[in-house]
Amino acid sequence: MDYENEIIELRKKIEYYSKKYYDEDNSPLSDYDYDMMMNRLKALESEHPELITPDSPTQKVGGHVREDFEKVTHEVPLLSLQDVFSYDDLYDFDKRIRQTGKTDYCVETKIDGLSCALKYENGILVQGATRGDGVVGEDITENVKRIKSIPKKLKEPLNITVRGEVFIGKEEFEKLNEEREVLGQPQFANARNAAAGSLRQLDAKITGQRPLDIYIFNVQQVENKDWNSHYEELNYLKDLGFNVVPFRKLCKNIKEAINAVTEIGENREQLGFGIDGAVIKVDNLALREKLGTTFKVPRWAVAYKYPPEQKETIVKDIICQVGRTGVITPMAILEPVKVAGSTISKTTLHNEDFVKEKDLKIGDHVIIQKQGDVIPEVVKVLTEKRDGSEVTFEMPKECPVCGALAIREEGESAVRCTGIECPAKALRNIVHFASDDGMDIEGLGYKIVEQLLNRNLIKDIADIYDLKLEDISSLKKNGKKFAQNLIDSIEDSKNRDLSNLISAFGIRHVGGKTAKNLAKKYETLDKLMRASVTSLAFSDDIGEIIADSIYTFFREDQTKDLVSRLKKAGVNTKLIKSVELDNRFDGMTFVLTGALSKYTRDQASEIIENYGGKTSGSVSKKTSYVLAGEDAGSKLTKAQTLGVPIISEQEFEEMIKERE
């Protein structure tokens, strides 16, 4: 067998996934699969030491320092841990330790987040840094100061550096993803990615908006303190005001330590945070010094990784759930079975294609797998156990919640509900309707809409216009001023342009620019609702897919009902003629890229259009100007390559002021 080529291929794959995990906070690979690749590479290199190279992933700590952060050199390296995958490995670890000395063990949960160091001088937090490559990390001081559970001042004026894991709790993660789904933002794949991405923000305000937490698990260095026990050290840190890793157990021998590891595994479902294993540490700090470290890992600790567990069960039924964006997802109802410490009675089947690829039927015997805190999944269908009573599953043609048409567009895997009054989509629809891209109702954001729905003060979009002052003021303590401002904003929204209303509907594929083009062409909502697919397809920037989406939306009974109620409430449904300006940008096409300081992109686009110009989403040789703000990306690069004129926001303002 060609071991050398296998080693080369493994190194390439591990480097790729390491970059995704450590640097981009977005790994598509499970921890278990990554660990198995790394284990295979270690085994091959152990058998063929002549093939080991200094740049092998086995010879260095994962992670790099991003160039846009200041660098911090750790006075004490933040090392990674040696992974083990069986209790036999733990007995081997204990055997090696006892060759040097006797010790208790401290067993802790291995929290799945991003490791960082916190430095205090005279008890005041002065620096926060990521692990980076273990020796050099990223300065995230301003970001860690935004995390509420990190003390800014200790109860004693110590000079101390501690190490902890920043994470997002399970419930907080679900809530964060729900909010992002409603706001049309991409969802985080898992809590670890969310925590890491949130902590490594260049804008500390964004970090402060995320539900980050931390557990401290080690003292890196301290002045004028001398402990004998790591366990005592952690208890002292708790007294100082730190959030210390909550599950920590002092064990007299390796058998007790293994029992503690088992206990964590059996109860990890009840933990409020995600874990990716358990850590077994030598408790005696003097013995730790004797044992020392390698270039990459300490010799006095290992991380036990729980293997994925598989069980057989039966698919009793397949039902469909409707998400807040209208995506209809099949869900398998299972004969309850205990897997990896928790009883599993249902699991997502993702989409129609997943069901077909697995050839999954109602009544099938299946193998399900759950690794740690990962959602259980169907990994295999036992077709050999079929008896002919199994039933083929078909995705619904109508929404199971509201009865509206359910469609799957070409090129997509998702089936979606088209009903705008669907209760399952209410939060998302109302938030979008009130957003800057819609009717611009100031104060009616995600959290307020959520409260209004939870208190049954509204059920759908049209109910916004029936809200009373006393309904809103009850949401906040001393909320009369807020309530009056919101009532005024709701009233003002009745006078928005037709383009705002079209955009506010959240029609699939219809953004602000398309909404403006539709408003200009049809001038009234009634005319737009009567438009044929052919007529729509001949509008600017509208193809067959978008035309069909618009046509289908306005044929729904729910849409007709909503429009009728909005008209009754006094909402404008006609084009408001804009003030005619000169046509200085006639025949010109602008591309906007990066963040503008004085305008939103919609505002800048509107100015360009009011002067006769057009905006485009892509750069070509026909582009007249690229308006570039901060952090402009690939569009700026392409403009430079093609020689397209690039203007700043200041130059754009000068172009507007000309001849005024």
Contact 111, 167 (CB under 8 A): yes
| Helices (H) then strands (E): counts for the chain | 24, 24
Q: Which helix (H) or strand (E) holds 14?
A: helix 3-18
Three state DSSP letters for 556-609: CHHHHHHHHHHHHHCCCCECCCCCCCCCCCCCCEEEEECECCCCCHHHHHHHHH
Question: Within 13 Å of residue 105, how many CA atoms lie on the same side as its CB?
Answer: 27
Q: Which two tokens stand for residue 600?
A: 């939103």
- Residue 406 CA to chain centroid, in angstroms? 27
Instruction: Say whether 110 is catalytic.
Output: yes
Contact 535, 470 (CB under 8 A): no
Amino acid at 314: I
Strand-pair category, 160-167 with 213-222: antiparallel
Contact 425, 326 (CB under 8 A): yes
Counting Cβ atoms within 10 Å, is residue 1 exposed (0-12), middle (13-18) or buried (19+)? exposed
At 259, is the secondary structure helix, strand, or coil?
A: helix
Q: Of the listed 19, 110, 621, 638, which one is catalytic?
A: 110
Contact 22, 134 (CB under 8 A): no
Distance from C-alpha of 348 to C-alpha of 354, rounded to nearest angstrom: 10
Q: Count how many residues are written for the chain.
A: 660
Contact 341, 412 (CB under 8 A): no
Residue 279 backbone zone (phi > 0: left; psi -120 to 50: alpha; other: beta):
beta
At 192, is the secondary structure helix, strand, or coil?
A: helix
Q: Which helix (H) or strand (E) holds 127?
A: strand 124-130
Residue 184 backbone zone (phi > 0: left; psi -120 to 50: alpha; other: beta):
left
CA distances from 319 to 184, 325, 402 (A): 25, 18, 15
Q: How far apart are the first and last CA of the chain?
A: 77
| Active site members | 110
